Structure 1
Amino acid sequence: MRWLTGLFFLMLVQAVSATECRVNGGAWYNADTTLFGAYVSVAADLATDKVSLADYTLECHSGNVLYNETISTAQDAVMLYPGYGHLAGGLRVNQDYPIPVPGGIVLSVQNNYEPPVTVRGEPYLKITRAPGKYVQIRSGDQIAAVKYQVVTRFNALEVNRFDFWLRLYAKNSLNLSPSTCTLNDDKPIDIDFEAVE
């Protein structure tokens, strides 16, 4: 009996470092101890008034086939970095969740013995068509970060829970200023229509 208890304990301990993730098909890393990063192409979609930051693929899997794994948003899941904090943004997962993005939105579920799964969610910046709300992104800048929460279970028993980050950097520059114009030096314009019948 002691041997079985020890074996079960060993399996639970292995789950602590069992979750592995990779970005864009790269090497697998322990998600509990790694700061992940991805370079994203930034382009304006004027039809949706957004700049997508979703030009990457994040895949995760449990390193132990006995466990199920759920990846969700952590509380305040999308953070904009200094220089971009004046912008609005959020995460799209079937619908838009503006900043502050709530925790608990399920992004992937992996049952035991399944292959790696893609973690859903598309971070974005919101384009505001108003003076002073420009979008100016410099190539190489860290724009945002997405915070995930991993919960690992053995049957119904939760054996591990932790958060990890994915940092997003710009592959290219983008300068999108709202068009504004000034007429008559911002003075009233007087138009004489003469007699109107």
Structure 2
Amino acid sequence: MKRLHGAAGLLIFMGTISNALAVDCRVNGGNWQTGNPNLRVPVMVTLSSDRQRIMMEGARLECMYSPGQGPAWGEDYWATGNASGTPWTPGPLFGNERAGLRINGSFLNNPVPSGIRVATMPNNRVVYPINITPYILMRNSPSNPINVVANDLLGMLRISSSNNWDNTRPQVTVTYIAANNFTVSPSTCTINNNNPIEINFGDVPQRALGSDPLTTPIRVNRRLNYSCPDGGIDSPITITYKGIQSSFDNRLLMMTNPNLGTAMVRGGAAVRVNGSFLTRITNSVGGDDVTFSLVRRAGSLPATGATSGSGVLVMGVP
């Protein structure tokens, strides 16, 4: 009789392993994976249209009740979190930022509770979406830019399944990887209310162009205004002049005419391209006067015709 009991116990154990496979999932139409799959998916990192969140879009996660598992009336109940950890763990790039999950259209900031019902899947061979999208919340205070490079680790999503007929809890872990390069300041503070700063030098006589950004007569003055939506912020900040350097002077932004470049001058000094100057905001506002100057390569006479260039001013913290 002891041997019979031992055999029965072994059969029950094997049955439990089989029941734990009552789940099939895939991402982006790929192969179905059964059991407790660890999935990996590339996603696009983008800024939402309202500039409130950095979204990780493009992971089409789908699951279904595994055919041949359990009774005909069986159902799987998918929920956030699993035995491995919390529903969402941001990657190292976002470790100091606030994060969350958009679940079936609702935004839930971290800490997202485990056990939130995401989907119900009857035993009917129908494929159901798992509508979850991770995001990073923008700040209302100054912050340094985040540089995402394709293949960077963005974070890990954890979900699990229960059902209405046994106690097994299959789990799925999805690792999110960046599919694109993306640079963003995780802050809602703005320079000139995020409006483009257009610098039009007009018609410039060839021989009027100078070769020194501090003395060339071709210049345009602009006021830079800084603001943050939350009041009471007093902080030093940096303003970075980002772009592609000209081939002949690292203080000059490259123009379509190779013998021309544009400098940004503040306080009597030209700011190096991809360099920055230190300033501050007081009670959430601040500002600086700068000059943009058009400069020629020394010893050259630039060809006539239209020329253009583009750069970005980025607010950060020291």
TM range (shorter): 0.7 to 0.9
Given the alignment, which residue of 130, 153, 169 partners 1:161? Answer: 169
Given the alignment, which residue of 14, 18, 23 partners 1:19? Answer: 23
Asked if structure 1 preserves the Cα contact closer than 8 Å seen for 2:94 and 2:136, the reply is no
Which residue number in structure 2 is paired with residue 151 of structure 1?
A: 162
The separation in 2 between residues aligned to 1:76 and 1:28, in whole angstroms, is: 24
Given the alignment, which residue of 45, 48, 70 partners 1:45? Answer: 48
**1:162–1:174 Cα change, 3 Å:** same
The separation in 1 between residues aligned to 2:125 and 2:32, in whole angstroms, is: 16
Counterpart amino acid of 1:20? D
The separation in 2 between residues aligned to 1:123 and 1:187, in whole angstroms, is: 31
Counterpart amino acid of 1:70? Y
Of structures 1 and 2, the larger Rg is shown by 2
Render the CA deviation track for 1:94-146: whole Å, top value 9, x for unaligned.
Answer: 32111111111111111122412111222111122432253321111010111
Which deviates the most, 129-138 or 37-46? 129-138
The separation in 2 between residues aligned to 1:46 and 1:68, in whole angstroms, is: 37
The separation in 2 between residues aligned to 1:118 and 1:168, in whole angstroms, is: 17
**1:169–1:144 Cα change, 3 Å:** same
**1:28–1:129 Cα change, 3 Å:** same
Q: How does 1:1-197 map to 2 (within 5 A)?
A: 13-32=17-36, 34-63=37-66, 64=69, 66=71, 67-74=74-81, 76-93=86-103, 94-154=105-165, 158-177=166-185, 178=187, 179=190, 186=280
Render the CA deviation track for 1:1-51: whole Å, top value 9, x for unaligned.
Answer: xxxx99x9576653222211100111011241x210110011112414111
Total equivalences in the alignment? 181
The separation in 2 between residues aligned to 1:54 and 1:133, in whole angstroms, is: 23
Asked if structure 2 preserves the Cα contact closer than 8 Å seen for 1:86 and 1:133, the reply is no
**1:186–1:85 Cα change, 3 Å:** closer
The separation in 2 between residues aligned to 1:137 and 1:58, in whole angstroms, is: 23
Runs of 4+ in structure 1 over 6 Å off: none
Counterpart amino acid of 1:152? N
The separation in 2 between residues aligned to 1:100 and 1:186, in whole angstroms, is: 33
Q: CA deviation at 1:186?
A: 5.0
Which deviates the most, 138-147 or 40-49? 40-49
Counterpart amino acid of 1:26? G
Counterpart amino acid of 1:43? T
Alignment gaps of 5+ in structure 1: 190-197
The separation in 2 between residues aligned to 1:114 and 1:121, in whole angstroms, is: 21
**1:162–1:16 Cα change, 3 Å:** closer
Which structure carries more relative contact order (alpha carbon 8 Å, separation 6+)?
A: 1
TM-score (norm 1): 0.78
The separation in 2 between residues aligned to 1:82 and 1:68, in whole angstroms, is: 37
Alignment gaps of 5+ in structure 2: 1-7, 192-225, 227-238, 240-265, 268-278, 287-318
The separation in 2 between residues aligned to 1:172 and 1:187, in whole angstroms, is: 33
Which deviates the most, 142-151 or 107-116? 107-116
Which residue number in structure 1 is paired with residue 271 of structure 2?
A: none
Q: Quick one: percent identity of the two aligned structures?
A: 19
The separation in 1 between residues aligned to 2:159 and 2:80, in whole angstroms, is: 5
SS across alignment from 1:87: coil
Render the CA deviation track for 1:142-164: whole Å, top value 9, x for unaligned.
Answer: 1011110111332xxx3311332
TM-score (norm 2): 0.50
